A and B are shown apart, each in its own frame.
Chain A
Amino acid sequence: MRPCGVFDKSYALDIAIIRTWQHWAVLISALVFLYLFPLFGSYYLISFINLLCISIIVVLGLQIVSGFCGQISFGQAAFMAVGAYTSSILTIRYGISFWLALPLSGIMAGAVGIIGGAPSLRIKGMYLAMATIAIHFVVIWVILHMEITGSFKGLYPMPPSIGGFEFDTDERMFYIIVSVVIIMTYAARNLMRSKVGRAFVAIRDNDLAGEVMGVNLYYYKLLAFFISCFYAGVAGSLWAHLITVVNAEQFTLLHALEYVGMLIIGGMGSIPGVFFGVLFIRILNELVMFTSPALAKALPWMGSSPAASLGLIAFGLAMAVFLIFEPRGLAHRWEIFKSSYRLYPFAH
């Protein structure tokens, strides 16, 4: 965002994201605030942000494959599971440190993602969406039927540690999770404005023309799936070592659906949109949690714990409202706001 009157004097400046010293000031203060947050923030808020950040990583990945590359995927929860289980197995069984298991989980999920993304080479749109749903069930089935994954009992990974210091509380995990989110947002934002990002968008907007520009469709579609699932895998690893319990019930198709919902509400093809979408759905969930006891009293016919069904109804309603009234998501609103600020005080 920049005020009226800031013009670009070189191509280097034109392609920079952060252009004025005000940008730097805002960015640095935000980072300082964030890293100091555990010192004064409430436990509730800190655990809320932890879960928020993990979802952000998953949806960043989804944004890359679906929002930028145009390949709809309902497999994100399953790929997150692959990451969570890989990390747990590597640390519990093979004694590998969390710091190595974290990227390895991403790579493992990415590798499975390449197999899962293979149908995209032949089919598009609705059919691909169905294929990824099938992949979700296959992955979960395999996890439940392997011994190494603890089958239905699941696994109990340990919190990360470094030199005897245990990241065994939400406040301590906060630093790891927030750092990973910052790095992965930075990487995604850059990647999407580089050669690879333009190739993805070319495939999304017009795959024939993309080929004529020299884009190898097979390679770049599978690359999009790999990167997307890498993100899910890293998020899964963080989740595993934050919650320290991993089982298949944490990764249902409903979760995958929720990630797609976050993407749509936030806005397809926008990195800031990921933050908006995740925040919106997570806050909505919290509101439902807070109000459901009162609602249970007021509407006894809904049963004793209406939170689950209420949550789904609220999610469905929000999706419907956005698809009808703002299909380009919150990111689009943000763009409108930004450009009005940019032109202020002259609306030329």
Chain B
Amino acid sequence: MSHRQHENRPVIRVRRLSLRFGGLEALSNVSVDVQEGEILAIIGPNGAGKTCFLNCINGFYHPYEGEILYRDKDLTRLKPHKIAALGLARTFQNIELFSGLTALDNLMSARHIHMRHGALLGCLFFGPTRKEEIAHRERVEEVIDLLEMESIRKKTVGSLPYGQRKKVDLARALCMDPALLLLDEPMAGMNVEEKEDMARFILDVYELKKIPIVLIEHDMDVVMDICHRIVVLDFGRKLAEGRAQDIKDDERVIRAYLGEA
């Protein structure tokens, strides 16, 4: 696997991360590296702190201890919009779309960090502004093409079925042209067919962009199929880390997680 060639140059370096809510230690002393060009799965039972881990990386939560480095840039105290501008994109476990907008406008809004025109030029919708809109529309249409979303382009996302909204969520993250993709349970609540589609899309994206992907997922079959490495979280602690096959056979993991599934 090609990702191993770069193993000494992590894209994201999380060091001794600890996060607390009052008395609850949501994350304690978690260290994880995300390598260049790998799909890393984060698994663990509900409440293990997986979403919190992503929330720390993209700046929603600020840990009380530890640091998060993205290519030597310290993200630990940055605001989410600054982190987004660095090229870190994510999806949400509970789908957080702009429900009043069409699928297309949801995706166009993800071009925000790449668009240049401000309020004054925006008032005049011709010349450079119009040209820019069209150029970005073309980028968005590529993603629509990739994820086979032509038929829902002009639909208001609030009215779309669950599976489609999950897809818009992924597409929106892709439209940011991310350097790193964080996916929080992209297949949760989907039927088998939709899950297979989603897994295929994620692999398509990976083949196309070769960007590192961090994937939180419960379905072990999916994880085994598409991920290179796995990190297991349990009660806010890192329980194990390693190649998919090794994790599958790890005693502690089986006891904490796989056993009960």
Residues of A within 8 A of B (CB): 11-12, 14-15, 186-188, 190-191, 193-199, 201-202, 204-206, 208-217, 223, 227, 269
Contacts and interface: CB of A to CB of B under 8 A. Distances in A.
Contacts of A213: 84, 109-110, 112-113, 172, 176
Contact of A205 (B79, B100, B129, B133): B100
B161 interface: no
B119 interface: yes
A310 to B, nearest CB: 36
Contacts of B137: 11, 14-15
A194 B116 CA distance: 11
Interface in B80-96: 80-81, 84-85, 89-90, 92, 96
Given A195-B111, A198-B108, 5 more contacts: A14-B137, A196-B122, A201-B101, A202-B109, A212-B90
B67 interface: no
A215 B112 contact: yes
Nearest to B104: A14
Contact of B134 (A11, A187, A208, A210): A11
B258 interface: no
19 contacts: A14-B137, A186-B123, A187-B123, A187-B124, A195-B112, A195-B115, A201-B98, A204-B100, A206-B96, A206-B98, A208-B80, A209-B98, A211-B59, A211-B79, A212-B96, A213-B110, A214-B113, A214-B176, A215-B112
Contacts of A201: 98, 100-101, 105, 109
Interface string B108-144: 1111110101110111110001100110011001000
Would you call the interface of chain A mostly helix, strand, loop, or mixed?
A: helix
B103 to A, nearest CB: 13
A212 B122 contact: no
Nearest to B119: A196
A227 B125 contact: no
A64 B125 CA distance: 17
Contact of A269 (B85, B100, B124, B129): B100
B159 interface: no
B46 interface: no
Contacts of A188: 123
Contacts of B111: 195
B162 interface: no
B245 interface: no
B98 A208 contact: no
B18 to A, nearest CB: 23
A193 B80 CA distance: 24
Contact of A214 (B84, B98, B141): B84
Contact of A202 (B79, B90, B98): B98
A165 B6 CA distance: 76
Nearest to B101: A201
Contacts of B92: 209
B113 to A, nearest CB: 4
A15 B123 contact: no
A179 to B, nearest CB: 16
Nearest to B90: A212
Contacts of A227: 119
A216 B82 CA distance: 8
A214 B81 contact: yes
A202 B109 CA distance: 8
Question: Which of A188, A193, A198 is most buried by chain B, counting CB atoms within 10 A of its CB?
Answer: A198
B122 A191 contact: yes
A211 B80 contact: yes
Contacts of B84: 211-214
B35 interface: no
B134 A12 contact: yes
A59 to B, nearest CB: 18
A9 B39 CA distance: 39
